[in-house]
C-alpha cells in the first residue's frame, strides 16, 4: 500500500473482546491495533485476538504495555505483524525496543516463533527482520527532544504520535485530536523527522474527520476510531430514552 | 419505573466483553441483557459481566441458551435480576421455565443463592419470587398459537417478541424491525395478550427509532441497540478510508 | 474406611478457587465436594479443581448443576471419584442419573475417560462401575415420598440430605442444621431408608458440631464446613475493627 | 470432494489446546473434529479452537457432549461447519438433534448466527440448512436396531460409527479398530444403511492403516488419528531413556 | 478516615477467587489487598477481582509482583485505588515506583485510564495524582538503611512493613507477627520514619490481636487476616474428624 | 539420579495444554519443561500445568520468558522445582537471575511461597535454596565469551545450551541438533565449562537419537522431544491421505 503512495487506516481495539476483534477485522480496516497498555487485554486475550484477526487479511498490530523485551518477543511469536512500544524517550529506549523485535545481527530477539511460523512459513526467521514493523511512540517532551536521533536507530520503522501524553508532557491541554499550537508543532516535528529519516509516521485519533486530515498532512498510518469509541455512541442514545 | 407508567430501555450485550458490559452499564440504559444464546458468552463470562454490571444501578438481565433448569438457576444465583428464555412454545415450556426461576411453592428453584445473596441480603430467598423477572420469548407460530395460555402461567412476568424467529416461523421476511403485515399482527397479538393477562410485554429491536415507536405502541421493555450493533458502525467508516 | 466402620468427613468447595481447592485438599478431609450447582464453578474451573485435588489423597466429589447426562459424564471423565446429583424426586430421575454414571450394561455412560484413565489406569472402564460413587440428593417432599423406591435403583450408592431445600419443600423453617421436628423426621427417614436398602447415607451441614452429631446418628458421609463458610468468619472480625 | 468420489480424512482434537488446533489444521487434514464429549473442552475453548481452525481451509467439525439443543446451536453459531451428536438411539433422538441444527421449516434452530455470519456472509441463514453437516453417532445396540429408520430422518447427513461404545453395548471386546466379527457386522450394517438412505457414513479410528482400510470399504469420512494419540508416542520414547 | 484520626483495617486476598473477593469486600473491611506477588493472581484475575470489589465501598488495593512500570500502570488503569510495591530498597527504586503511578509532572504514568475513568469520572486524570495511594514495602536491611531518604521521595504516601522478608534479611527469625527485638526495632524505625516524613505507615499481620496492637502503636493501615488464613482454620477442624 | 551417575531426560511442553501436560507427565520422563518464552503459555496456564504435573513424580521445570525477577519468583512460588532463564550473556545477567531464585542471604527472592509450601512443607523456605534448580541458557556469542565467569556465579546449578540462538548468534546455520563444527565446539565448551565449575550441563534437542548422543557426551539434562514435535508427526500422515 505504502509503495503505492496510499495511507493505511487503523482501528484501535480496547475492549479485549475476541469476537469484537474478529468483527472489526472484517470491516475493511487496513490494520487493527490490539492495545495491551491501556486496556484490560492480557497476553492470553491478545493471543486469542491475534488468532481471530488472522481469519482475515487485516494486518494485526499490538501495542505492548511497556518497553519490555519479553512482551515484545511474545506478541511477535504469537503472530503480530507489527509492534508498537509506548514512551520511547531516548536512543537507548529505541535500541532496547527494536533489538527485542529483530533477530541477530540486527537485534537480540530469541529464535522460536510459534504461531508466527504457522502463517509465515519455513522461512519466517530469515524474513522477519524485513517484514515485522516496529513502531515507537513519541509522547513526551523528552522523546520530542531526542526525536531526530531516535528516528535514525537502525531497524526502527515508524514514529507514532501519542497526542494525549505528548500534550500533558508539554504542559498543554490534552486532546486526542490536538488543536493546540504548541502540541501541533510537536506533531509536525515528529511527522517530518520520521520522513526525513526515511521511516514512516503514524498518528492516533478517535475522530474519522481528524484522521482524514492527518492522512492528508502526510501520516502513513492513522488510527481513525476504536471499538470502545463506537460503543460510546450508546451513551447519547441511552439518554434519549430517559 | 413501570409503576410510574414509564417504559424501560434495554441494551443487548453480544460481545462477551466484561469491560464492554461495564462501559455500557454506565451509559444510562434502564437495563442490559447479557445474551448467552446467540453470542460467545459462556457461564464464566456471563458471571463476570453480571459482576461488572453490579457496579452500577443498571438492571442486569440474562438470556439463557435454552429452556434448561440448570442454566436458569445458575444465572439467578449469579445475580441476574431477570432471566429471558428463548422459544417458549407451550404451556409446558413456560411452566418448566418459570418453575426453575421460582422457589417453592411457586417453582422448583433450588436454595443456594451465592452472588445473589450478596446483593439481595439475608432475606433474598423470601423475596426472590416477587423480585425476579421471568421473560418468555414468543418467537414461533406454535408459541403464537399458545400465547394466551402461556401468558396465564402463574409466575410469568413478561412476553418478549423475538421478531426474526417469529417472522421465519410464520414464513414471512425476517427483519429485526418488522414491517410485514402478518408479522406485525403477531407482534400486536403478543403485546395485547400480555397486557390482557396483566403481565408485561417486551420487544427486540436494534434501531432506536423503531424502539421508540414500540414504546409508544405500549411495550414495557424495548431493546434499542446492541454493543455489536454500535461496533458495526465501523464498517461504513472503514470503507470511507478506502 | 466405610468397611472399617468409620464415617467420612467432607469439606464443601463453593469459592471456585483452584488454589483454595488444593489448600483444602491438604487439610486432611476424607473428601471434598466441588459444587457446580450453587457456586460460580463452571466445567473448566471444576476440571482445574479436580486436577488440584489429585495432587493429594483426598477423594474428589462433584455436585453437578442438574440431572443432565452430559454434565455427569464429563465430570467423571475429568476424574471425579463420585458425583452428586441434586433434586432426585422420582425413580425415573434416579435411573437417568445413575445411568449416566455407569457403563453398559448398568447404564449408558459413553466410553472415553480422559483424565480418569490417567489415574485409573488401563482397566478403568472395567472397574468404574464398582468404584464410582453415585449420590442422589433427596431434598423435596416428592423425593421424600419416593425415597424407598429411589433407594432401590440399582447402581445408586448414597442418599444425601439437602436440608434447606427439604425444609422449604416441606413448608418448614430452613436451616443448614435442622432442628425442626418435621424436617428431622424426614432426615431420619432418608437415613434409615438408605441403610435399609444397603446403600450409604449422607448429610450436609456447615457446623462441625452438628456434623459430628450426624455422624453419630449414622450418616456415612457428612459435610462439616465449606471454604466460603470459613471465609465468612471474617465478617465478625472486620466488625471488631470498626 | 465427495462429489468427486474422494474420501475425507479427519484428525480428532482431544487436547483442548487452541495452539494445537491451529497446528493440526495446518497439516493438511480435510477436517478436524473438536471433541466436547470426552475431552476437557468447554464451550469457550471450543469457540477459540474454531477461530484457530478458521485461519486455514480445513473444515471444522464439533462433537457436542450430548443431544442438547443449546449445545448444538451454540457451536453452529460459533462457526462449526458440521456437528456430531453422540448416542443417537431412536428416530426421536435423531429428530431432536437434526432439528436443533436446521432453521425453519426443517428444524427449530433459532436465528442469530454470530461468528457463523462472519464467514458465511449475509446469506448464511438461507444457505445453512444445505451446507451444515449433521452427523449422528450410532454406538449402541438400540441405535443399531433403529438404524434404518434413523438414516431416513430428513436433514440428517451422516451416520458415524462409535466403535468402542458399540462393541461394549453389543457385549463384545472394545477396540478403536474393531476386528470382532459381530462388531464388524454392525459396522458394515451402519455403512450400508447410510448409503442405502443416500447419506454419508463415517468411522472413527486412531490407526492410519485401519483408517485407510475403512476408506476403501466405503466410509466417506474417517478419523485417522488424534492429537492426543500423537502425543502418546512419547510414552515409548520416554521408556527408552530409562 | 485518616483525617478523623482512625486506623484502616485490611484483609489480604491470596486465593485468586473473584467470588471470594466479592464476599470479603462485603464483610466491612476498610480495604482489601489483591496480592499479585505471592499468590496465583495474574492480571486477568486481578482485574476481575477489582470489578468485584467495586460493587462495594471497600477500598481496593493491589500489590504488584515487582517494581515494574507496566504492572503498576495497568492495575491503576484497571481501577485500583492504591498500589503496593514490594522490596523498595533505594531512593531510585522508590522514584521508579512512584513515577509509574503519577501523571506528569509528578511522574511518567501514561494517559489512558479505562476502568479507572468509569468510576473516577471525567476528571480522573486531573485528580489521580492526589487520590491514588502509593505504598512502598520496606522489607530488607538495605531498604531499612535507606528508609529515611525513601520516605522523602515526593509522591510516596506510605511505608509498609513486610515483616517476614525484613526479619530474614536482618538474619532474625521470621514471623508474620514479629516479637524479635531487632526486628521490632526495625518495625518501629519504619513507623516513625514514615510519620516524621508526613506520610502513612502500614503493617502486615495475619493475627487480629497483633493487628490491633499495631494500630495502637500507630500504624495507619494494618492487614488483619487473609482469605487463605481463614481457610487455614479448616486444617484443625479436619483433624478433629479423624 | 545425578548422584547415581545417571542422566535426566526431559520433554518440552509448548502446546499450553493442561491436559497434555498431565498426559506427558505420566509418560515416564524424568522432567518436563513448561515453556513460557516461545509458546502461548501465560502465567495462569503455566500455573495450571504445574498443578497437573504435581499429580505425578515427574520434575516440573519452567522456562521464564526473560530474565525478570517477578516471573522467576512467581513460577517458583507456583511450584516449579527448577527455573530456566533464556539469554544469560553476562555475570550480571546470571546474578540477577540466580538472585531472584534464592532467598537471603544467597539472593533476593521474597518470602511467600504459596503452592510451593503445599508440596514442600513447613520447612520449604529453609530448604529451597538447596533444592531449587537454576538453569542459565547460554545461547549467544556474548554468553559464550563470558561462559567461564557465568559458570562460577554462586547458586547457579546448570548451563543449558540453546542451540538455535547460539548458531544464529555465531553466524552459523541453525539446527536444533547442530552438526556445524563451530557450533559444536561452542556446545562442547559450554558442557566442559559447566563440569569444570562443578555444575550441571543441559542440552536442547527434539530428536531422541541426537538426545541420546548428547547424554553420552556428558550432558546431565537433555530435552528429547516436545509435545508439539510429536503432534508434528501428523503432517506427514495427513499427506498420505491426499
Q: What confidence tens digit (pLDDT) does each residue in C97-107 have?
A: 999 999 999 99
C and A touching (3 or more beta-carbon pairs closer than 8 Å): no
Domain at E8-235: CATH architecture: Alpha-Beta Barrel (3.20)
For residue range B142-191, list pLDDT tens digits in order. 999 999 999 999 999 999 999 999 999 999 999 878 999 999 999 999 99
For residue range E18-38, list pLDDT tens digits in order. 999 999 999 999 999 999 999
pLDDT at E176 over 80: no
- The rounded distance, in Å, linking the Cα atoms of E237 and A38 is 46
Residue A8 has which C-alpha cell?
493505511
The helix (run of H) or strand (run of E) holding residue B238 is: helix B227-240
Summarize the confidence of residues C128-153 as an average pLDDT: 98
Q: Which residue has the higher pLDDT, C187 or A119?
A: C187
The whole-number pLDDT of residue E121 equals 86
The whole-number pLDDT of residue A37 equals 98
Mention the CATH class of domain B2-229: alpha beta
Domain boundaries, chain A: 1-63, 70-174
The whole-number pLDDT of residue A153 equals 98
Chains linked to C by 3 or more Cβ pairs within 8 Å: B, D, E, F
The whole-number pLDDT of residue C177 equals 85
Domain at C8-240: CATH architecture: Alpha-Beta Barrel (3.20)
**What residues in A contact B238, CB-CB < 8 Å?**
9, 11, 27-29, 224
pLDDT at F117 over 80: yes
Burial state string for C32-51 with b = 16 or more CB within 10 A and e = fewer than 16 = bbbbbbbbbbbbbbbbbbbb
**What residues in F contact A74, CB-CB < 8 Å?**
37, 65
The minimum CA-CA distance between A35 and chain F, rounded to whole Å, is 17
For residue range D91-135, list pLDDT tens digits in order. 999 999 999 999 999 999 999 999 999 988 889 999 999 999 999
The minimum CA-CA distance between A118 and chain F, rounded to whole Å, is 12
List the single best residue of B47, B69, B74, B76 to mutate versus C (max C Cβ within 10 A): B74
Which of F47, F69, F104 shows the shortest C-beta gap to E66? Answer: F69
Interface of F with A (CB under 8 A): 14, 37-40, 42, 44-45, 65-66, 68, 71, 86-87, 139-140, 162, 164-165, 168-169, 171, 174, 228
**What residues in C contact B111, CB-CB < 8 Å?**
38, 164-165, 168, 174
Helices (H), chain A: 18-25, 43-53, 69-77, 91-101, 115-120, 124-131, 141-145, 147-151, 163-169, 181-196, 208-217, 227-240
The minimum CA-CA distance between A51 and chain F, rounded to whole Å, is 12
pLDDT at D42 over 90: yes
Helices (H), chain D: 18-25, 43-53, 69-77, 91-101, 115-120, 124-131, 141-145, 147-151, 163-169, 181-196, 208-217, 227-240
- C-beta atoms of A16 and B15 within 8 A: no
- The rounded distance, in Å, linking the Cα atoms of C47 and E37 is 25
The whole-number pLDDT of residue E209 equals 96
Residue C196 has which C-alpha cell?
435399609
**At F159, is the pLDDT very low, low, confident or very high (cuts 50, 70, 90)?**
very high
pLDDT at F121 over 90: no
Q: Which residue has the higher pLDDT, A233 or F24?
A: F24
**Backbone torsions φ then ψ of D183, nearest 5 degrees:** -65, -40
Using an 8 Å Cβ cutoff, are F232 and F17 in contact? no
**What residues in D contact F226, CB-CB < 8 Å?**
none
- C-beta atoms of D37 and C111 within 8 A: no
pLDDT at F198 over 90: yes
How high is the mean pLDDT of chain A?
Answer: 96
CATH superfamily membership of D2-234: Phosphoenolpyruvate-binding domains (3.20.20.60)
- The rounded distance, in Å, linking the Cα atoms of C147 and C94 is 10
Summarize the confidence of residues A10-29 as an average pLDDT: 97
Summarize the confidence of residues C30-41 as an average pLDDT: 98
Cis peptide, bond prior to residue D178, ω within 30 of zero? no
Summarize the confidence of residues F132-137 as an average pLDDT: 98
Which of E20, E212, E224 shows the shortest C-beta gap to C17? Answer: E20
The whole-number pLDDT of residue E50 equals 98
The whole-number pLDDT of residue F175 equals 84
For residue range E88-138, list pLDDT tens digits in order. 999 999 999 999 999 999 999 999 999 999 988 889 999 999 999 999 999
For residue range B18-49, list pLDDT tens digits in order. 999 999 999 999 999 999 999 999 999 999 99
DSSP helix/strand/coil, D32: strand
Using an 8 Å Cβ cutoff, are B167 and B184 in contact? no
Q: What's the CATH number of domain A70-174, 3.30.70.260, 3.20.20.60, 3.40.50.1010, 3.40.47.10?
A: 3.20.20.60
pLDDT at B88 over 90: yes
The minimum CA-CA distance between C2 and chain F, rounded to whole Å, is 25
The whole-number pLDDT of residue F26 equals 96
**At B95, is the pLDDT very low, low, confident or very high (cuts 50, 70, 90)?**
very high
The whole-number pLDDT of residue D119 equals 85
For residue range A192-218, list pLDDT tens digits in order. 999 999 999 999 999 999 999 999 999
The whole-number pLDDT of residue B122 equals 83
**Backbone torsions φ then ψ of F122, nearest 5 degrees:** -65, -25
- C-beta atoms of E110 and A71 within 8 A: no
The whole-number pLDDT of residue D164 equals 96
Which of E19, E26, E29 shows the shortest C-beta gap to C15? Answer: E19
The whole-number pLDDT of residue E114 equals 92
Q: What is the DSSP letter of D140?
A: S
The helix (run of H) or strand (run of E) holding residue F66 is: none
The whole-number pLDDT of residue A200 equals 98
Summarize the confidence of residues D75-80 as an average pLDDT: 98
Taking the CA atoms of residue E139, residue E143, residue E149 and residue E150 in that order, the dihedral angle to the nearest 10 degrees is -50
Please state, for a pLDDT cut of 90, what percent of chain B lies above it.
93
Which of D19, D23, D54 shows the shortest C-beta gap to A55? Answer: D54
Interface of B with A (CB under 8 A): 7, 9, 11, 14-20, 23-24, 26-30, 39-40, 208, 211-212, 215, 224-225, 227-228, 230-235, 237-242
**At F176, is the pLDDT very low, low, confident or very high (cuts 50, 70, 90)?**
confident
pLDDT at D189 over 90: yes
**What residues in E contact F69, CB-CB < 8 Å?**
66
Using an 8 Å Cβ cutoff, are E113 and A39 in contact? no
Which of D17, D211, D241 shows the shortest C-beta gap to F9? Answer: D241
The whole-number pLDDT of residue D167 equals 97
Summarize the confidence of residues D68-78 as an average pLDDT: 98
The whole-number pLDDT of residue A1 equals 83
Closest chain B residue to A58, measured at CA: B238
- The rounded distance, in Å, linking the Cα atoms of B40 and D115 is 8
List the single best residue of F70, F115, F125 to mutate versus E (max E Cβ within 10 A): F70
Which of C40, C71, C174 shows the shortest C-beta gap to B47? Answer: C40
DSSP helix/strand/coil, B45: helix
The minimum CA-CA distance between E125 and chain C, rounded to whole Å, is 32
The whole-number pLDDT of residue F89 equals 98
pLDDT at A241 over 90: yes
Cis peptide, bond prior to residue D100, ω within 30 of zero? no
Chains linked to A by 3 or more Cβ pairs within 8 Å: B, D, E, F
pLDDT at A176 over 80: no
For residue range C165-209, list pLDDT tens digits in order. 999 999 999 987 899 999 999 999 999 999 999 999 999 999 999
Mention the CATH class of domain F8-232: alpha beta
**What residues in E contact F96, CB-CB < 8 Å?**
none
Using an 8 Å Cβ cutoff, are A88 and E91 in contact? no
Using an 8 Å Cβ cutoff, are C235 and E28 in contact? yes
Summarize the confidence of residues F70-88 as an average pLDDT: 98
The minimum CA-CA distance between C127 and chain B, rounded to whole Å, is 30
Amino acid at each position: 500500500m505504502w509503495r503505492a503512495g496510499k495511507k493505511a487506516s487503523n482501528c484501535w481495539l480496547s475492549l479485549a473482546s475476541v469476537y469484537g476483534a474478529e468483527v472489526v477485522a472484517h470491516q475493511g480496516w487496513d490494520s487493527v491495533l490490539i492495545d495491551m497498555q491501556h486496556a484490560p487485554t492480557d497476553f492470553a486475550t491478545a493471543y486469542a485476538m491475534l488468532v481471530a484477526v488472522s481469519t482475515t487479511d487485516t494486518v494485526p498490530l499490538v501495542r505492548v504495555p511497556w518497553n519490555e523485551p519479553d512482551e515484545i518477543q511474545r506478541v511477535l511469536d504469537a503472530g503480530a505483524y507489527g509492534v508498537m512500544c509506548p514512551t520511547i524517550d531516548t536512543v537507548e529506549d529505541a535500541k532496547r525496543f527494536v533489538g527485542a523485535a529483530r533477530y541477530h545481527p540486527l537485534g537480540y530477539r530469541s529464535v522460536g516463533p510459534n504461531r508466527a511460523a504457522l502463517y509465515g512459513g519455513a522461512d519466517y526467521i530469515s524474513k522477519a527482520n524485513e517484514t515485522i514493523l516496529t513502531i515507537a511512540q513519541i509522547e513526551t517532551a523528552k522523546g520530542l527532544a531526542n526525536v531526530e536521533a531516535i528516528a535514525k536507530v537502525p531497524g526502527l520503522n515508524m514514529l507514532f504520535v501519542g497526542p494525549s501524553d505528548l500534550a500533558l508532557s508539554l504542559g498543554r491541554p490534552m486532546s486526542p485530536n490536538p488543536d493546540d499550537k504548541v502540541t501541533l508543532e510537536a506533531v509536525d516535528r515528529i511527522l517530518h523527522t520520521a520522513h526525513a529519516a526515511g521511516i514512516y509516521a503514524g498518528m492516533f485519533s478517535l475522530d474519522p474527520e481528524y484522521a482524514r486530515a492527518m492522512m492528508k498532512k502526510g501520516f502513513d498510518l492513522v488510527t481513525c476510531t476504536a471499538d470502545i469509541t463506537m460503543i460510546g455512541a450508546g451513551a447519547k442514545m441511552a439518554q434519549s430514552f430517559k
